[in-house]
Chains A and B, each alone.
Chain A
Amino acid sequence: MAIRIVRKTIHLEGHCSVEEALPLLEALRKPGAHKVVLTKCQGLHAAILQVLAAARPAALTPPADPALAGLVMPFLDASRQAAPGAAA
């Protein structure tokens, strides 16, 4: 399981496949400020990426892998800035 939820913190680890988009979305739909940790993430499906972009979690820890971070962080940062404070 690449998705691990500890209270309000969602850890995405390893390779996150398309099947995990729904549990992730459900977790992020719960009220409150969420924190998403991508530190141990090694790969993301586009579906996961767009859930993260749409949900705009309150805090986001970038992946440790610089290549992956370079790939997804500009987009995720941009979408969080687009509507600051509008996190679900």
Chain B
Amino acid sequence: MTNPLLARFIPEARELLQVSASGLLKLERNPTDETAINEVFRAVHTIKGSSGLFDAVALTRLVHAAEDLLGEVRSDALQIDSSLVDMLLDSLDQVGQWIDELERRSALPTDADGVAHRMAAQLRQRLGAQDQDDVPDDAPADGAPQGADPAPDGDVATLPPGFLARLSAPACLDAFRRACGGQAVHLVRYAPEPGCFFNGTDPLQAIQQVPGALALDIAAAEPWGPLEDLDPYQCNLHFSLLTAAPRPEIEQAMRYELDQIIIAPVRPRDLVRIEGEPSDGPIWDDFREAASAFLAAGRHDDLRKAVGALRSVAGPTLWRRQALDWLEAALSAAQPDPALVAALVAAAGSGRFDPAPAAPAPAAPAPAPAPQPAPQAADPRQELARSVLASQHRALEQAGYDADRLASVGTVVGNVLLSLGRDADRIAIQAAFEAAREARSVAPVLSALSAVLDGAPLHRTEAAPALPDALPPAFEEAAPVAGAKEPEGRIAPKSLKVDQAKIDLLMNLIGELVVSKNALPFLAKRAEETYASREMSREIKEQYAVIDRLAQEMQGAIMQVRMLPVSEIFDRFPRLVRDLARKLGKRIDLALEGEDTAADKTIIEALGDPLLHIVRNSLDHGLESPDERRAAGKSATARILLKAREEADSVVIEVQDNGRGIDPVRIRAAAIAKGVIGQEEADRLSDQEAINLIYRPGFSTAAEISDLSGRGVGMDVVLTTVEKLGGQVSVSSRLGEGTTTRLALPLSMAVTRIMIVEAAGSLYGVPMDMIVETVRVPRERIRMIKKAETFVLRETIIPLLRLSRLLHLPDQPRGEADAAVLVCHVNGRRVGLIIDNFREGMDVILKPLEGVLTGLGGYAGTTLLGDGRVLLVLDLRELL
């Protein structure tokens, strides 16, 4: 990556994505959380802003769509729900993938534009759909017949007067046909900022860049004053462009002026322009009657035939014949808009076009109208309510039972009925939803909904203010909206971003310092012994004490720099648990504790995967479905607790669930069946030991392999990873009550505490965390069982091994002296290691074996002793 700006953008964007994701989850739990929505909005807004610097138009577009949606949520125009959160999270995931791609190749994948287009369209559709849902919801609430807010982007456009006259009649008809067919025709209103000439913008040229232009209207923003006062360099023009291009293409063409344009779909009926000579005759009345009947019965094909027949006989210059052309175009759509068709039929019949002004039927892809056209289109609200209810009905029918979807449908339906003042229906529907939840089936709701849809027309019981007509927002009002979305400035964070390599370098240097410092005591000894200067020796020791203290403090300080809070890994779990829980149909409450606990970066990073595995395992196998839980007398919502805390020199992370627990009997049976252990061994195991079997390689109890956990890898991966980090895993479980997995890891890997031992005439280091105790065993207490040496320590037989033999070195005859035995805990068992002598313990910086020595087994690494000798540190797990 050569672009330094991009290099800075990538980590920042990732951080912001994380912030947005966790904010969204907070919002899902508490939709009114203003802090959360502001946080998410700001994060997404920042990503959008920064991404504009790079060649990542697709990314910007997608984020922009998400931002628009969030803006609506923030202004309370849109209610957030689980499906919306799903969509937004998916979009953010996509952005995350693109960021990865940007990091790898400095460019987006080739399909990014298409993906962005699709996802942004989905988001925008949600924006549009919700506008609809909201109309009945909001209208009674705000009281005022006309909303004070400027219409949002998704609203329909009103054409400037005389605008259609600019279009040739065929072009106008063509645009109408497109709009009826669901391909949106957009009106782009462009209000260039007055100073735009100075930054090289030619608004006239800019607006001409928009593809698919049908008609352009130019107007003066302010009336022209006297010519003497005219400033030729202040732009005083407004443009309105009718275009057949899809929204993303318009945005792409106007990408530098996005904050100065408003794009809105045009309703097909606004495009109707009929001209011609008046005419009269009984044929028209006949047509009107027949057509109305066809229309009422929903027989569009018959209507089409009737229109075709009359068109072939009527004179092409007649007004009414023209009306038929439009009617034919309206009918050519797959889902003709009944209100529009009815208006055109009436126009052909009466010789006058009177567009039904209120029934909103946006040209943008919107839920298709109710399957059967409503007999009367008197109250637009009823039409709308009907179509909303019908679409909910359809959605439920297709999706089947899903608790979350059911809840959201319940909210929508309840709101619709509430806005219509139909309380009795509302209560009935709510009862149906309750029944559906109990029965886990959508049938009760479907039948109740059909009853409402088929029953008497939805009547309002109280008078309500008229629907606010789609009000054309003045440019002055609408243009600054984008600019006003900058709520507060960011406080510069008081932290530095430092490359990890620099910290590692510091770490290495301090390691060297610690080692060199260790040479001073040797020097003091030499001063005393070789040069017989006790004074000198004492001074060196004093100096050593000072340097020692400073070095330790420095080491501590650098260690602190490398520390990360466990929230780094915990943060991804709310999302994961939520997604998996939804997938599995389980209800899970995730609690996090002690997120502030810090540990070394290496530890934190390495912990992610094992923890993920444990939590997935718990979700998949440990926690029961809500029904099972209820049957067992537990609350339907299961609980997982992730807890971190510091314990002495280690960080302890616990994953607790209150699921079904691990059944030792099942584990034993499974272990035998899989050949992990034999029957006899299984019988000998205690319950706790049986539970520990899940950490054996090749063990997986899941009957079938699911895509969550149980990929046949099993928990042994967890154990290996954690032990590699010098940590321990333990699991405890009570049948029916839950399982607790405990990971204990060192706070820092930088310094390892070792014990120095003598064997075969050389010194070796043994990591302190493996040593249980040191004992001196008299010769006679060492017993031979077959060929193996053992001894009894507190009534336990401990096998003995000789370190020198393990290392293939000659034994040193030690006569009758007691054997020095290092009792170690290796691979879950105790073993005694006979060595020649114990030496002191020390803190060392372990260096892994490098170069040609890499493949050498049995050694964890090397370190330098104070006198310059190299000490080999043993890896007992490999050695034994």
The chain A residues found within 8 Å of chain B, CB to CB, are 18, 21-22, 24-25, 28-29, 44-47, 49-51, 53-56, 71-72, 74-75, 79, 88
Q: What residues on A are CB-neighbors of B649 within 8 Å? A: none
CA distance A24 to B230 in the complex (A): 12
Q: What residues on B are CB-neighbors of A25 within 8 Å? A: 227, 230, 232
Taking CB atoms and an 8 Å cut-off, the chain B residues in 102-150 that contact chain A are none
Tell me how far the C-beta of A83 lies from the nearest C-beta in chain B, rounded to whole angstroms: 8
Residue of B203, B218, B227, B236 near A75 (CB, 8 A) is: B218
Residue of B202, B203, B224 near A53 (CB, 8 A) is: B224
Tell me how far the C-beta of A43 lies from the nearest C-beta in chain B, rounded to whole angstroms: 8
Residue of chain B at shortest CB distance from A21: B232
Contacts A49-B204, A75-B218, A79-B220 given; indicate if A29 touches B227 (C-beta within 8 A): yes
Which of B202, B205, B217 gathers the greatest number of chain A CB atoms within 10 Å? B202
Residue of A18, A22, A53, A71 near B220 (CB, 8 A) is: A53
Contacts A18-B197, A74-B166 given; indicate if A46 touches B203 (C-beta within 8 A): yes
Q: What residues on B are CB-neighbors of A88 within 8 Å? A: 227
B531 at the interface (CB under 8 A from A): no
B771 at the interface (CB under 8 A from A): no
Residue of B166, B202, B236 near A18 (CB, 8 A) is: B202
Q: Given known contacts A45-B202, A47-B233, A54-B230, what 8 new A-B pairs fall within 8 Å (CB)?
A: A21-B233, A22-B233, A25-B227, A25-B232, A29-B228, A46-B237, A54-B227, A79-B224
Taking CB atoms and an 8 Å cut-off, the chain B residues in 214-239 that contact chain A are 216-220, 224-225, 227-228, 230, 232-233, 235-237
CA distance A51 to B232 in the complex (A): 6
Q: What residues on B are CB-neighbors of A71 within 8 Å? A: 204, 208, 216
Tell me how far the C-beta of A57 lies from the nearest C-beta in chain B, rounded to whole angstroms: 11
Q: What residues on A are CB-neighbors of B217 within 8 Å? A: 74-75
Tell me how far the C-beta of B458 lies from the nearest C-beta in chain A, rounded to whole angstroms: 46
Taking CB atoms and an 8 Å cut-off, the chain B residues in 379-414 that contact chain A are none
Q: What residues on A are CB-neighbors of B233 within 8 Å? A: 18, 21-22, 47
Residue of chain B at shortest CB distance from A55: B227
Taking CB atoms and an 8 Å cut-off, the chain B residues in 225-277 that contact chain A are 225, 227-228, 230, 232-233, 235-237
Q: What residues on A are CB-neighbors of B235 within 8 Å? A: 46-47, 50
Q: What residues on A are CB-neighbors of B203 within 8 Å? A: 46
Are A47 and B224 in contact (CB-based, < 8 A)?
A: no
Which of B208, B225, B228, B233 gathers the greatest number of chain A CB atoms within 10 Å? B233
Tell me how far the C-beta of A79 lies from the nearest C-beta in chain B, rounded to whole angstroms: 7
CA distance A84 to B288 in the complex (A): 46
Residue of chain A at shortest CB distance from B163: A74
Tell me how far the C-beta of A22 lies from the nearest C-beta in chain B, rounded to whole angstroms: 6
Tell me how far the C-beta of A58 lies from the nearest C-beta in chain B, rounded to whole angstroms: 13
Tell me how far the C-beta of A14 lies from the nearest C-beta in chain B, rounded to whole angstroms: 15
Nearest first, the 3 A-B pairs at minimum CB distance are A75-B218, A21-B232, A46-B204
CA distance A51 to B204 in the complex (A): 13
Are B227 and A72 in contact (CB-based, < 8 A)?
A: no
CA distance A72 to B219 in the complex (A): 11
CA distance A45 to B597 in the complex (A): 63
Q: What residues on B are CB-neighbors of A72 within 8 Å? A: 218
Tell me how far the C-beta of A82 lies from the nearest C-beta in chain B, rounded to whole angstroms: 8
Tell me how far the C-beta of B781 lies from the nearest C-beta in chain A, rounded to whole angstroms: 103
Tell me how far the C-beta of A63 lies from the nearest C-beta in chain B, rounded to whole angstroms: 13
Q: What residues on A are CB-neighbors of B230 within 8 Å? A: 25, 51, 54-55
Q: What residues on B are CB-neighbors of A56 within 8 Å? A: 224
Are B219 and A46 in contact (CB-based, < 8 A)?
A: no
Contacts A21-B233, A25-B232, A79-B220 given; indicate if A46 touches B227 (C-beta within 8 A): no
Residue of chain B at shortest CB distance from A46: B204
Are B216 and A50 in contact (CB-based, < 8 A)?
A: no
Tell me how far the C-beta of A60 lies from the nearest C-beta in chain B, rounded to whole angstroms: 15
Tell me how far the C-beta of A4 lies from the nearest C-beta in chain B, rounded to whole angstroms: 18
CA distance A15 to B237 in the complex (A): 20
CA distance A79 to B232 in the complex (A): 16
Tell me how far the C-beta of B197 lies from the nearest C-beta in chain A, rounded to whole angstroms: 5
Main secondary structure on A side of the interface with B: helix
Contacts A18-B202, A72-B218, A75-B218 given; indicate if A47 touches B227 (C-beta within 8 A): no
Are B204 and A44 in contact (CB-based, < 8 A)?
A: yes
Contacts A25-B227, A44-B204, A46-B197 given; indicate if A75 touches B232 (C-beta within 8 A): no
Taking CB atoms and an 8 Å cut-off, the chain B residues in 173-206 that contact chain A are 192, 197, 202-205
Q: What residues on B are CB-neighbors of A24 within 8 Å? A: 232
Are B227 and A50 in contact (CB-based, < 8 A)?
A: no
CA distance A71 to B216 in the complex (A): 7
CA distance A71 to B217 in the complex (A): 8
Tell me how far the C-beta of A77 lies from the nearest C-beta in chain B, rounded to whole angstroms: 11
Are A49 and B237 in contact (CB-based, < 8 A)?
A: yes
Which of B208, B218, B225, B228 gathers the greatest number of chain A CB atoms within 10 Å? B218
Contacts A29-B227, A55-B227 given; indicate if A50 touches B220 (C-beta within 8 A): yes
Are A45 and B204 in contact (CB-based, < 8 A)?
A: yes
List 8 contacting pairs A-B, 8 Å CB cutoff, sorted by A.
A21-B232, A25-B230, A25-B232, A45-B205, A46-B197, A46-B235, A49-B237, A71-B216
Tell me how far the C-beta of A5 lies from the nearest C-beta in chain B, rounded to whole angstroms: 16
CA distance A70 to B674 in the complex (A): 83
CA distance A15 to B467 in the complex (A): 49
Are A47 and B232 in contact (CB-based, < 8 A)?
A: yes
Tell me how far the C-beta of B163 lies from the nearest C-beta in chain A, rounded to whole angstroms: 10
Q: What residues on A are CB-neighbors of B237 within 8 Å? A: 46, 49-50, 53
Are A54 and B204 in contact (CB-based, < 8 A)?
A: no
Residue of chain B at shortest CB distance from A22: B232
Tell me how far the C-beta of A10 lies from the nearest C-beta in chain B, rounded to whole angstroms: 14
CA distance A44 to B166 in the complex (A): 20
Q: What residues on A are CB-neighbors of B166 within 8 Å? A: 74
Residue of chain A at shortest CB distance from B221: A50
Are B236 and A50 in contact (CB-based, < 8 A)?
A: yes
CA distance A38 to B197 in the complex (A): 22
Residue of A29, A47, A49, A54 near B218 (CB, 8 A) is: A49
Q: What residues on B are CB-neighbors of A74 within 8 Å? A: 166, 217-218
Q: What residues on A are CB-neighbors of B224 within 8 Å? A: 53-54, 56, 79
Tell me how far the C-beta of B191 lies from the nearest C-beta in chain A, rounded to whole angstroms: 12
Q: What residues on A are CB-neighbors of B202 within 8 Å? A: 18, 45-47
Are B228 and A50 in contact (CB-based, < 8 A)?
A: no
Q: What residues on A are CB-neighbors of B216 within 8 Å? A: 71
Q: What residues on A are CB-neighbors of B219 within 8 Å? A: 75
Are B197 and A47 in contact (CB-based, < 8 A)?
A: yes
Residue of chain B at shortest CB distance from A75: B218
Q: What residues on B are CB-neighbors of A79 within 8 Å? A: 220, 224
Residue of chain B at shortest CB distance from A25: B232
Residue of chain A at shortest CB distance from B196: A46
Tell me how far the C-beta of A21 lies from the nearest C-beta in chain B, rounded to whole angstroms: 4
Q: What residues on A are CB-neighbors of B192 within 8 Å? A: 46
CA distance A62 to B217 in the complex (A): 17
Which of B205, B208, B227, B228 gathers the greatest number of chain A CB atoms within 10 Å? B227
Which of A21, A22, A46, A75 gathers the greatest number of chain B CB atoms within 10 Å? A46
CA distance A55 to B216 in the complex (A): 22
CA distance A75 to B218 in the complex (A): 6
Tell me how far the C-beta of B162 lies from the nearest C-beta in chain A, rounded to whole angstroms: 8
Tell me how far the C-beta of A23 lies from the nearest C-beta in chain B, rounded to whole angstroms: 10
CA distance A50 to B203 in the complex (A): 11
Which of B197, B204, B217, B236 gathers the greatest number of chain A CB atoms within 10 Å? B204
Tell me how far the C-beta of A67 lies from the nearest C-beta in chain B, rounded to whole angstroms: 10
Are A28 and B227 in contact (CB-based, < 8 A)?
A: yes
CA distance A84 to B720 in the complex (A): 90
Q: What residues on B are CB-neighbors of A44 within 8 Å? A: 204
Residue of chain B at shortest CB distance from A20: B232
Which of A25, A29, A54 gathers the greatest number of chain B CB atoms within 10 Å? A54
CA distance A50 to B230 in the complex (A): 10
CA distance A72 to B202 in the complex (A): 14
Tell me how far the C-beta of B62 lies from the nearest C-beta in chain A, rounded to whole angstroms: 32
CA distance A75 to B203 in the complex (A): 15
Q: What residues on B are CB-neighbors of A46 within 8 Å? A: 192, 197, 202-205, 235, 237
Residue of chain B at shortest CB distance from A26: B232
